[in-house]
């Protein structure tokens, strides 16, 4: 297929996935910020939302006085100066989709186009709490439907594989960032078991990736920090865990390599990162530093993104 | 002049005495018993459908209105199978004549030698491409896709209003209008035998493959070349590429090495055999034509002339479809095919001829004057609808550059009922059927794009001037 098309597909999936993750981050921040401080702790949820959304520096330039509910929501949802706002993600995804109409199915296009049309009808200035919550839900639904439409309607060929690569590179990146921002909450030393304060922080991490219920099914235990980290990094049963993302990435890269009859750096990087995740255990990770582990992972993931671009998309 | 009463025009559905014409019975019956709210709902549903699939066009020079919907009217326009058959024979003949003329224009110019068409109309035509002189495209065909605009004035007479032999657009509306109508009016499709149009993309692909260069493999690679998502017809480009199952490429996706055209793919370069281009001649190759073009492919023209790729339509086909040549079409058909033209031309005054110019200047108030190289309804004067000042200003232009204009009588275009704010009312229509011309024959799917002038009394059907569209049904009776 055309390199430009593959590039568009890859990025439109990344932007759709990113929009969903941003919506989830805001959704959870709203929840946490609504708790009495005895439960949620004194930490500024809005600071951490900005950090997770990977736009802290740019944000500080505009709002040097720090993060508040209003300015964070504004910035992440529809700020014209934020190229990765939810609005910008949906705009970009939709215009990429428009440019590759032939490479996606009509269902996928209609979902994005509908989401975009709906978003255009919203006045974000002075948006009410309930309208905002509804919007964030719609964004998550749009991404879920888009994902489902891709899964159920796309031909299993390189178009599908590149679409998938975008989804999982972005998902892995977002998950690692989310964990990195919260890593101090997960550090085991500080943990007074069953303490109300951290409990809500830990469960908020799970909630922001829609994994709270499944956590209980897998561990049949109270929410514990090392188990949360284990679940979201190393457990292949959890579809958003780093290892899950990499098993998928490996699989799609292998299919591409097989179809094209050759491998390249992208396949090698994906394989070595997967192997590292498969051989890791949580004790080691905590000993050598969760933060360091995550920072390294994010770098490796970026390297894989670069290799995919170099090898196929340009 | 005020608009003439609708009764003065031929209405394709209603007969003056109160009955309806053949083919329209079921539709008239349905409209009669449908409550107004139902029609309003169906109209809204149609709009919703078009917005959802994203079939939009961009209006140039309008910053507000990027991505607008073309208004769609839910009352279908009907042609009987017999009328259609007659029309098709005329269209096929017309496109054959057009192709013969263009080939001759870049060849021996026998028609000039025979004293029929003045040579300067060919050589001084801005669409004439000297690069093409002496070059025969694969299959000897220049125009593979033609859109012939026809209008109807009475039960038996269709006039050709304009030939479009460059990159005619609008066919996606023919296809999507049908799609919408099948959802909106399933009851009518149940009772009428409407000829299908949805095989058009297959017919187009067959046509394009049939004219692949000889050096191409048995399974030639066809691509559609678009200027990109900001072009007004981008929806159509991607729609057609999708339905044909071919890549939609932009200039930057293609490159030329050793006179072979390749596209950049995820698997490395892949050879391209046929380019269905929706880019104008001047932008297609910055080396051969407009050096400022960012849309084209450097070296494409040289690959084309080396016979390694087919460009469809060929470069320079505009020499055959401007309004100056138009007036010679009846003679052109007779000259090359030895047949009487089956479809009439609108009687046309060539302002370049002094006697015609005098006549036109004296009758400006009743004529339509068009720029020879204009399109889209821009730069024309509709005499009866213009003010005296407008006519005077136009007369000055006309006297200064008579060669640039032709004039025609104001036609009594047929009307078809439309569902407008005031209810059902007649509006003027034209028809653009699409004629495909391959090395293996001529194809024409039964239907076309019916454009309708939605403003009461208006004769201008162009979407850029407030026109809308209708589905066109060819019906067995």
Note the pLDDT tens digit of each residue in B420-469. Answer: 988 999 999 999 999 999 999 999 999 999 999 988 888 878 776 778 99
Note the pLDDT tens digit of each residue in A246-284. Answer: 999 999 999 999 999 999 999 999 999 999 999 999 989
| Partner-chain contact A158 B266, CB within 8 Å | yes
Q: How confident is the model at residue B8 (pLDDT cuts 50, 70, 90)?
A: confident
Residue A187: the pLDDT is 66
Interface of B with A (CB under 8 A): 51-54, 228-229, 234-235, 238-239, 241-242, 247-250, 252-253, 263-267
Domain segments of chain B as ranges? 347-410
| Partner-chain contact A1 B265, CB within 8 Å | yes
- Name chain A contacts of B239, Cβ cutoff 8 Å: 101
Q: Which of B235, B239, B266 sits opposite A312 (nearest CB)?
A: B266
Cβ(B436)–Cβ(B95) under 8 Å?
no
What are the tokens at B44? 């809204």
How far is it, in rounded angstroms, from Cα B55 to Cα B469? 13
- Name chain B contacts of A260, Cβ cutoff 8 Å: 266-267
| Partner-chain contact A102 B238, CB within 8 Å | yes
- Name chain B contacts of A312, Cβ cutoff 8 Å: 266
Residue B240: the pLDDT is 95
- A225 vs B430, which has greater pLDDT? B430
What are the tokens at A213? 């219920």
| Partner-chain contact B266 A4, CB within 8 Å | no
Residue B62: the pLDDT is 41
Residue B131: the pLDDT is 93
Cβ(B326)–Cβ(B112) under 8 Å?
no
Cβ(A78)–Cβ(A86) under 8 Å?
yes
How far is it, in rounded angstroms, from Cα B162 to Cα A91? 40
- A102 vs B168, which has greater pLDDT? B168
Residue B55: the pLDDT is 72
Q: Does the pLDDT of residue B272 top 90, yes or no?
A: yes
Closest residue of chain B to A99, computed from CA coordinates: B229
Closest residue of chain A to B224, computed from CA coordinates: A102
How far is it, in rounded angstroms, from Cα A197 to Cα A203? 11
How far is it, in rounded angstroms, from Cα B138 to Cα B170? 26
Closest residue of chain B to A158, computed from CA coordinates: B266
Note the pLDDT tens digit of each residue in B389-428. Answer: 999 999 999 999 998 899 999 888 999 999 998 899 999 9
How many other C-beta atoms lie within 10 A of the C-beta of residue B353?
A: 14
Nearest CA of chain A to the CA of B250: how many Å?
9
| Partner-chain contact A3 B264, CB within 8 Å | yes
| Partner-chain contact A114 B54, CB within 8 Å | no
Q: How confident is the model at residue B5 (pLDDT cuts 50, 70, 90)?
A: very low
Of the candidates A100, A93, A81, the one whose C-alpha atom is nearest the C-alpha of residue A3 is: A100
∠ CA(A24), CA(A27), CA(A30), 5° rounding? 150
Mean pLDDT of all residues in B22-30: 93
| Partner-chain contact B263 A2, CB within 8 Å | yes
- Name chain A contacts of B263, Cβ cutoff 8 Å: 2
**Which one of A9, A99, A106 makes the best mutation probe of the B interface by having the most chain B beta carbons within 10 Å?**
A99
Cβ(B412)–Cβ(B152) under 8 Å?
no
Closest residue of chain A to B48, computed from CA coordinates: A114
Q: Does the pLDDT of residue A235 top 80, yes or no?
A: yes
- Name chain B contacts of A158, Cβ cutoff 8 Å: 266
How far is it, in rounded angstroms, from Cα A112 to Cα A202? 32
Residue B58: the pLDDT is 55
Whole-structure pTM value: 0.81
Nearest CA of chain B to the CA of A101: how many Å?
6
Residue A40: the pLDDT is 54
Q: Which helix (H) or strand (E) holds B371?
A: strand B367-371
Least confident of A276-290, B191-205, B278-292, B457-471: B457-471
Residue B7: the pLDDT is 52
| Partner-chain contact A3 B265, CB within 8 Å | yes
Closest residue of chain B to A111, computed from CA coordinates: B52
Residue B57: the pLDDT is 61
Of the candidates A211, A223, A204, the one whose C-alpha atom is nearest the C-alpha of residue A32 is: A204
Nearest CA of chain A to the CA of B50: how many Å?
11
Mean pLDDT for chain A overall: 89
Residue A193: the pLDDT is 43
Least confident of A86-95, A158-167, B65-74: B65-74
How many other C-beta atoms lie within 10 A of the C-beta of residue B245?
A: 11
Pairing between β-strand B344-345 and β-strand B158-164 as defined by DSSP bridges: parallel
Q: How confident is the model at residue A174 (pLDDT cuts 50, 70, 90)?
A: very high
- Name chain B contacts of A256, Cβ cutoff 8 Å: 266
Note the pLDDT tens digit of each residue in B70-105. Answer: 899 999 999 999 999 999 999 999 999 999 999 999
Q: What CATH number labels B347-410? A: 3.30.1490.270
Domain segments of chain A as ranges? 11-154, 156-314
Nearest CA of chain A to the CA of B266: how many Å?
5
In sign, the C-alpha dihedral spanning B271, B277, B281, B286 is negative
Residue B378: the pLDDT is 66
Mean pLDDT of all residues in B27-53: 90
| Partner-chain contact A98 B54, CB within 8 Å | yes
Nearest CA of chain A to the CA of B417: how many Å?
32
Q: Does the pLDDT of residue B66 top 60, yes or no?
A: no
Closest residue of chain A to B226, computed from CA coordinates: A99
**Which one of B49, B235, B266 makes the best mutation probe of the A interface by having the most chain A beta carbons within 10 Å?**
B266
Residue B2: the pLDDT is 38
Note the pLDDT tens digit of each residue in A32-72. Answer: 787 776 665 556 788 888 888 877 788 888 898 888 888 89
Q: Does the pLDDT of residue B63 top 50, yes or no?
A: no
Residue A42: the pLDDT is 54
Closest residue of chain A to B251, computed from CA coordinates: A4
Q: How confident is the model at residue B377 (pLDDT cuts 50, 70, 90)?
A: low
Mean pLDDT of all residues in B1-22: 76
Nearest CA of chain B to the CA of A181: how many Å?
36
CA–chain centroid gap for B383, Å, is 24
Q: Which of A102, A113, A260 sits opposite B52 (nearest CB)?
A: A113
| Partner-chain contact A98 B234, CB within 8 Å | yes
Rounded to a whole number of angstroms, the CA Rg of chain B reads 23
- Name chain B contacts of A110, Cβ cutoff 8 Å: 52-53
Residue A103: the pLDDT is 84
Residue B403: the pLDDT is 87
- Name chain A contacts of B250, Cβ cutoff 8 Å: 4
- Name chain B contacts of A92, Cβ cutoff 8 Å: none
Of the candidates A95, A113, A149, the one whose C-alpha atom is nearest the C-alpha of residue B228 is: A95
């Amino acid at each position: 297929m055309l390199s430009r098309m593959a590039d568009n597909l890859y990025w439109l999936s990344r932007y759709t996935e990113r929009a969903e993750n941003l919506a989830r981050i805001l959704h959870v921040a709203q929840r946490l910020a609504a708790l009495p401080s005895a439960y949620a702790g004194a930490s500024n949820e809005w600071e951490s939302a900005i950090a997770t959304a990977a736009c802290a520096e740019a944000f500080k330039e505009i709002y040097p006085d720090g993060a508040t509910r209003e300015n964070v929501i504004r910035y992440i949802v529809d700020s014209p100066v934020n190229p990765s706002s939810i609005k910008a993600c949906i705009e970009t995804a939709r215009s990429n989709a428009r440019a590759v109409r032939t490479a996606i199915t009509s269902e996928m296009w209609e979902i994005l186009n509908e989401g975009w049309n709906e978003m255009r009808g919203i006045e974000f200035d002075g948006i009410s709490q309930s309208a905002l919550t509804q919007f964030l839900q719609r964004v998550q639904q749009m991404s879920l439907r888009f994902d489902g439409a891709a899964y159920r309607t796309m031909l299993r060929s390189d178009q599908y594989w590149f679409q998938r690569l975008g989804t999982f590179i972005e998902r892995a990146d977002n998950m690692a960032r989310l964990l990195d921002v919260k890593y101090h909450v997960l550090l085991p030393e500080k943990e007074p078991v069953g303490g109300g304060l951290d409990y809500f922080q830990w469960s908020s991490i799970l909630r922001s990736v829609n994994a709270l219920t499944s956590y209980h099914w897998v561990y049949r235990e109270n929410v514990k920090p090392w188990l949360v980290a284990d679940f979201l990094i190393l457990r292949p049963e959890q579809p958003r865990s780093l290892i899950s993302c990499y098993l998928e990435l490996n699989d799609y890269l292998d299919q591409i390599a097989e179809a094209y009859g050759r491998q390249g750096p992208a396949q090698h990087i994906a394989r070595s990162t997967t192997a590292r995740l498969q051989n890791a255990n949580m004790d080691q990770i905590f000993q050598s530093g969760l933060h360091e582990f995550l920072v390294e992972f994010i770098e490796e993931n970026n390297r894989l993104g670069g290799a995919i671009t170099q090898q196929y998309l340009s | 002049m005020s608009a003439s009463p609708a009764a003065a025009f031929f209405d394709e559905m209603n007969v003056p005495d109160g009955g309806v014409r053949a083919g329209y019975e079921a539709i008239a019956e349905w409209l009669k018993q449908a409550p107004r709210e139902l029609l309003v709902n169906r109209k809204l549903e149609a709009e919703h459908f078009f917005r959802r699939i994203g079939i939009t066009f961009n209006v140039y020079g309008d910053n507000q209105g990027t991505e607008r919907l073309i208004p769609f009217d839910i009352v279908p326009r009907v042609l009987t199978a017999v009328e259609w058959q007659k029309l098709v024979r005329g269209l096929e003949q017309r496109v054959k004549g057009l192709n013969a003329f263009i080939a001759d224009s870049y060849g021996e110019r026998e028609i000039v030698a025979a004293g029929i068409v003045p040579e300067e109309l060919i050589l001084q035509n801005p669409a004439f491409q000297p690069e093409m002189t002496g070059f025969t495209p694969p299959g000897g065909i220049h125009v593979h896709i033609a859109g012939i605009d026809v209008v109807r004035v009475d039960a038996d007479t269709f006039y050709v209003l304009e030939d479009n032999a460059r990159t005619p657009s609008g066919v996606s509306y023919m296809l999507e209008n049908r799609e919408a109508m099948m959802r909106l009016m399933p009851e009518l499709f149940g009772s009428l035998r409407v000829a299908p149009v949805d095989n058009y993309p297959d017919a187009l692909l067959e046509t394009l493959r049939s004219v692949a260069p000889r050096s191409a493999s048995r399974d030639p690679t066809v691509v559609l070349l678009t200027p990109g998502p900001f072009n007004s017809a981008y929806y159509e480009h991607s729609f057609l590429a999708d339905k044909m199952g071919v890549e939609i490429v932009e200039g930057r996706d293609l490159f030329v090495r050793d006179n072979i055209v390749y596209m950049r793919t995820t698997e490395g370069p892949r050879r391209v055999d046929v380019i269905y281009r929706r880019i104008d001649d001047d932008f297609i190759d910055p080396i051969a034509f407009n050096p400022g073009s960012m849309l084209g492919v450097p070296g494409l023209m040289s690959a084309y002339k080396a016979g390694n790729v087919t460009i469809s339509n060929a470069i320079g086909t505009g020499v055959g479809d401007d309004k100056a040549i138009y007036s010679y079409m009846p003679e052109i058909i007779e000259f090359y095919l030895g047949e009487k033209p089956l479809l009439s031309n609108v009687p046309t005054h060539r302002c370049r001829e002094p006697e015609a110019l005098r006549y036109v200047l004296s009758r400006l108030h009743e004529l339509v004057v068009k720029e020879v190289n204009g399109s889209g309804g821009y730069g024309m004067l509709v005499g009866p609808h213009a003010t005296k000042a407008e006519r005077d200003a136009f007369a000055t232009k006309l006297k200064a550059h008579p060669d640039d204009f032709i004039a025609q009588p104001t036609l009594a275009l047929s009307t078809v009922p439309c569902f407008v704010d005031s209810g059902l009312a007649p509006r003027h229509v034209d028809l653009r059927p699409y004629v495909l011309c391959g090395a293996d024959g001529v194809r024409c799917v039964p239907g076309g794009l019916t454009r309708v002038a939605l403003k009461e009394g208006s004769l201008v059907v162009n979407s850029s001037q407030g026109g809308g569209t209708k589905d066109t049904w060819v019906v067995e009776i």
